[in-house]
């Protein structure tokens, strides 16, 4: 009876269970998005968090869907001249950076995809190589993160404002600048993960830690690695047994997956918490920088924002975590592991951030496709 009740709750929330994981090949093939109109709740959330009217929110969602489809075509068309891309909310189009001196035929091919073009000095490959060299450095606590910003044409290194004059921070910045073009930005505080102590009635627990379920996969669910080590037992909202961490990585990465059984099962749903209707998951097409994105978590529930950067290295107190995506969405302790979704496309699981949902903040997530490939999992889609 208890297990059955847990299963019913999970249907309204988001968990998982089922078959043996499939082996990973290349990146998962994203499922085509639904053409169903956006819900009133989603539009209301975008109005609250992004300051948009209903009409503006509808137009933005449509434009972002088109930009997401254009991005892989534009990347292929640009070839070695590709310098990165981002969604421009003002124009409603994808902007693609192309290196100066690229052949006219290449530029024309990119433009034919429907993207706008910006000429830049460095290619994405060059900027990624510079970031990879910085990744090999040992960062002091005063350095928050670093990532490639195609709009800035450099690797952006974020430091805690109060510690910028610290000798170790200055030495790190000096060494980083030898790796390639670097821009320095300030943050108010150091990043932290969003796990929490035990609180009754929330999605899942391991030991005395509460975290949030990310996305259903066949055989289990994905979540944050800092929430539990491999082998650790997991219980649900009612403390009934769900399964165990089958794989977990933190730091370096921040992802994990949990097998599901004992009367619990998987559903392709992200909980809307009454703010929006529960969201069906239909694929994992990656949203571009600048696109709107929403997060579901067990503490602060449903919040929206925009994608600020990709492939960022975040320097937590426990160690650096790589290949993260940064957003303007807020989060708080207990939201760790929760779902980031853009439209009906899964994006990633909550790792950490700074600030909170009262005064505002920024967060990072580990991209979903990387997790699926790492563990040979298949996303459960509607």
Which residues pair with residue 120 across a beta bridge?
Answer: 99
What is the chain's Cα-based Rg? 20
Of residues 49, 85, 218, 226, which has the active-site annotation? 226
Q: Which candidate, 94, 37, 60, 32, places its Cα nearest to that of 284?
A: 32
Of residues 254, 278, 335, 344, which has the active-site annotation? 254
Contact criterion met (CB below 8 Å) for 102 and 62: no
CA end-to-end distance (rounded Å), the chain: 27
Would residue 254 show up in a list of annotated catalytic residues for this protein? yes
User: 163: which residues sit within 8 A by CB, 6+ positions away?
Assistant: 140, 141, 142, 169
Q: Which two tokens stand for residue 102?
A: 């690229």
Q: Which two tokens stand for residue 329?
A: 């969405």
Exposed e or buried b per residue across 80-114, where buried means at least 16 C-beta atoms within 10 angstroms of its C-beta: ebbbbbbbbbeeebbbbbbbeebeeebbebbeebe
DSSP H helix total and E strand total for the chain: 7, 23
Contact criterion met (CB below 8 Å) for 289 and 325: no
Contact criterion met (CB below 8 Å) for 362 and 326: yes
Of residues 249, 284, 328, 336, which has the active-site annotation? 336
Contact criterion met (CB below 8 Å) for 66 and 288: no
Would residue 336 show up in a list of annotated catalytic residues for this protein? yes
Q: Output DSSP code: residue 220.
A: E
Q: Output DSSP code: residue 362.
A: E
Parallel/antiparallel/unpaired status of strands 182-187 and 154-160: parallel
User: 148: which residues sit within 8 A by CB, 6+ positions away?
Assistant: 84, 124, 127, 128, 130, 131, 154, 155, 156, 309, 310, 311
Catalytic residues: 226, 254, 336
């Amino acid at each position: 009876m208890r297990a059955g009740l847990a299963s019913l709750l999970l249907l309204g929330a988001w968990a998982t269970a089922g078959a043996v994981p499939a082996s990973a090949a290349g990146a998962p093939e994203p499922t085509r998005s639904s053409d169903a109109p956006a819900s009133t709740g989603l539009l209301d959330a975008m109005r609250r968090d992004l300051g948009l009217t209903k009409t503006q929110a509808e137009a933005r969602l449509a434009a972002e869907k088109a930009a997401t489809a254009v991005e892989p075509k534009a990347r292929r068309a640009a070839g070695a001249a590709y310098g990165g891309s981002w969604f421009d909310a003002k124009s409603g189009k994808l902007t693609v950076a192309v290196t100066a001196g690229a052949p006219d035929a290449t530029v024309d091919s990119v433009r034919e995809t429907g993207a706008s073009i910006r000429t830049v000095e460095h290619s994405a490959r060059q900027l990624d190589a510079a970031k990879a060299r910085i990744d090999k450095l040992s960062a002091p606590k005063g350095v928050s993160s670093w990532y490639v910003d195609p709009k800035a044409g450099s690797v952006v290194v974020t430091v805690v404002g109060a510690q910028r004059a610290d000798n170790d921070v200055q030495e790190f910045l000096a060494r980083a600048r030898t790796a390639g073009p670097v821009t320095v930005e300030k943050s108010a505080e150091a990043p932290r993960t969003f796990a929490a102590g035990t609180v009754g009635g929330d999605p899942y627990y391991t030991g005395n830690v509460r975290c949030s379920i990310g996305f259903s996969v066949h055989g289990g669910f994905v979540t944050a690695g800092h929430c539990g080590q491999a082998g650790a037992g997991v219980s649900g909202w009612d403390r009934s047994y769900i399964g165990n961490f089958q794989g977990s990585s933190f730091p370096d990465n921040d992802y994990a997956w949990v097998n599901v059984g004992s009367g619990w099962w998987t559903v392709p749903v992200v909980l809307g918490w009454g703010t929006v209707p529960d969201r069906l998951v239909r694929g994992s097409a990656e949203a571009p920088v600048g696109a709107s994105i929403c997060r579901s978590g067990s503490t602060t529930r449903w919040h929206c924002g925009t994608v600020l950067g990709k492939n960022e290295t975040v320097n937590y107190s426990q160690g650096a975590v790589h290949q993260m995506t940064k957003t303007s969405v807020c989060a708080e302790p207990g939201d760790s592991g929760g779902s980031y979704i853009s439209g009906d496309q899964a994006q990633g699981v909550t790792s950490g951030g700074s600030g909170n949902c009262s005064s505002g903040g920024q967060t990072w997530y580990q991209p979903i496709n990387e997790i699926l490939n790492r563990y040979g999992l298949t996303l459960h889609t509607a």
